[in-house]
Structure 1
Amino acid sequence: MGPIGSRWHRAYEHERGAQRDMTFFSTRLLLTCAAIGVGGGLVFGIVGYLHPVVLVTVPILYGALIGVYFFPGVVAQSLLRRGGVALLTGTIAGLAASAVDPANLWRHVGVGVLIGALQELPFALSGYRYWRGWVFGLAAVVAGLVMGAFVLVLVGPDHFAPLAETVYIALFVLSPLLVTWLARRVSDGIDSTGAARGIQGEIDRRRRGAGATPLAMVAA
C-alpha cells in the first residue's frame, strides 16, 4: 500500500474508531446532557418567578432574563462539540424547570427548545465540524435577536418609545452574549477535569482542502 493509500486507510480507521466510541459512549453522552440540562432547568425555574415581576415593573429590562436560557446549551456544545446536544439539553432543562416552577412548565420547555434549535443552526452550517469560539458568539447574537423580535411582536411594536425599544432589543443580545461567555468558562472548567474525555468531538474536524462549507471557509 502506497503512502497515499496508507493515509486514507488510517483516516478511515480513525473515523470508524470515532463511530465506535460514540456508540459505546452514547449513554455517557446522554447522561452528560441530562446533568447539564437538570442544572440549567433549576435556574430556569428560579428565574421564571422574576418574569412577571420584571414585566410589570421594568419591562424594558425583560431581555436581561433571557440569557439564562442559553446557559445549558452552550455548556453542552462547548464541552461535547456534538450536533444536537444544545437542543437536547435545552429540552431537558425546560422539563426540569417544572420542579421549581410547575405553573410555567410549557413556557420553559418552549423557550428551551427554541433557543436550543437556534443554537444548533450556525454549527449545522459547518456539518458540526467547526466549534471555534466566534461561532458561539454568532449563535448568541442571532438567537437573541430572534427572541427579542418575537417577544416584541407579542407585546406590540408600539409598546415602547424608539429609544426604549433599542435598549430592549440590545438586552436580548447582550444578555445571551454574556451568558455564552460565562457558560464557555464553565465548560472549560469541566473539560479540565477530564470528565468528558472520550465523548467529545474535535474543535475543527474539517477535511483539509475539500468539502468545506461556506461557514467553515470564512472561518479558515
Structure 2
Amino acid sequence: MTNTSTRLLLTCAAIGVAGGIVFSVSAYISGTLAAAAPMFYGAVIGVYFLPGVVAQALLRRGGVALITSVIAGLVSVPFQPIGFMAVMAAGSIGLLQEVPFAVTLYRYWKAWLFYLAVTIAGLLFGLGVFVAQGAEQAAPWVQIVHVGLFVASPILFTWIGRTVAKGLDRTGAGRGLQLPVVRPRTRQGRDRDALPMTAA
C-alpha cells in the first residue's frame, strides 16, 4: 500500500492491539482444547480471523487485514506457547483474507465475500491441522467435527467482527478512511477511488 495515511495505520494498529489481547486469552483456551480434546481445537480458530475482518469491514481498503493481523500476532507473542510462530500464523490468515478482495481489485466489499474468504481459509487451515495431527486415523465423525469446526468458527467470528465494525463505524472511527462498498470504474478504466490513500 502506497501513500498510506498515518491515521489509517494508527486505526489498523488499534484494531491489531485489541486483537492481540484477544489472541492472548484464546491461546490458553486453545492450548487446553488441543491437549484435552484435539477434535474441538477448531472451535477457537475463528478468533484469529477477528482483527482482519474488523479492519476490512470498517475501512474497506486493501492490505488492512494483513497489517492488522500481523500487529495482533506481534502483540500476542509473549503469551503464545508457539512464540513468534504466532505472527506467521496470524499473518497467513490475514493474507488469506485479502485474496478474495484482491481478485476484485479491492472494488467490492459485499458481505458474501467476507464469508467466502473465511470459509476457504478455515477449510485450508482445518485440513492442514487435520493432516499434521494425524486425524485421518480417527473415527469418521471425529474427522467431520474437526474440519467442520475449522469452517464454522471463522464464519461465526466473521459475523462478530462485522458487527464490531458496524459499531465502530457508528462512532465515526473510520470516517474519512473508508472506501465505498462497491467502487465502480471510471470511463478511463481506472477505479474512481484510487488505491493510493490520502493523508488524513
Provide TM-score, normalisation by structure 1. Answer: 0.81
In structure 1, the partner of 2:14 is: 35
**Aligned-partner residue type, residue 61 of structure 1:** F
Please say which of residues 149-158 and 197-206 is displaced more in the overlay: 149-158
Provide TM-score, normalisation by structure 2. Answer: 0.88
Deviation at 1:103, TM superposition (A): 4.3
Please say which of residues 138-147 and 52-61 is displaced more in the overlay: 52-61
- Unpaired segments of 5 or more residues in structure 1? 1-21, 213-220
- The answer as to whether partners of 2:77 and 2:87 remain within 8 angstroms in 1 is no
In structure 1, the partner of 2:139 is: 161
Does residue 173 (structure 1) correspond to residue 142 (structure 2)? The answer is no
Identity of aligned residues (%): 51
**Aligned-partner residue type, residue 33 of structure 1:** C
In structure 2, the partner of 1:13 is: none
In structure 2, the partner of 1:199 is: 177
| Higher RCO by CA contacts (8 Å cutoff, separation 6 or greater) | 2
Regions of 4+ moved over 4 Å: 22-25, 208-212
Deviation at 1:157, TM superposition (A): 4.0
Residue 108 of structure 1 aligns to a residue in which SS? Answer: helix
Q: Output the CA distance in 2 between the equivalents of 1:91 and 1:44.
A: 12
Deviation at 1:206, TM superposition (A): 2.5
Q: Output the CA distance in 1 between the equivalents of 2:69 and 2:80.
A: 17
Does residue 67 (structure 1) correspond to residue 42 (structure 2)? The answer is no
- The answer as to whether partners of 1:38 and 1:96 remain within 8 angstroms in 2 is yes
In structure 2, the partner of 1:112 is: 90
Tell which structure's C-alpha radius of gyration is larger. Answer: 1
Structure-2 change in CA distance of 1:102 and 1:53 (3 Å): closer
In structure 2, the partner of 1:97 is: 76
- From 29, 42, 46, give the equivalent of 1:50: 29
- The answer as to whether partners of 2:27 and 2:80 remain within 8 angstroms in 1 is no
Structure-2 change in CA distance of 1:51 and 1:159 (3 Å): farther
- Across the two proteins, how many residue pairs are aligned to each other? 190
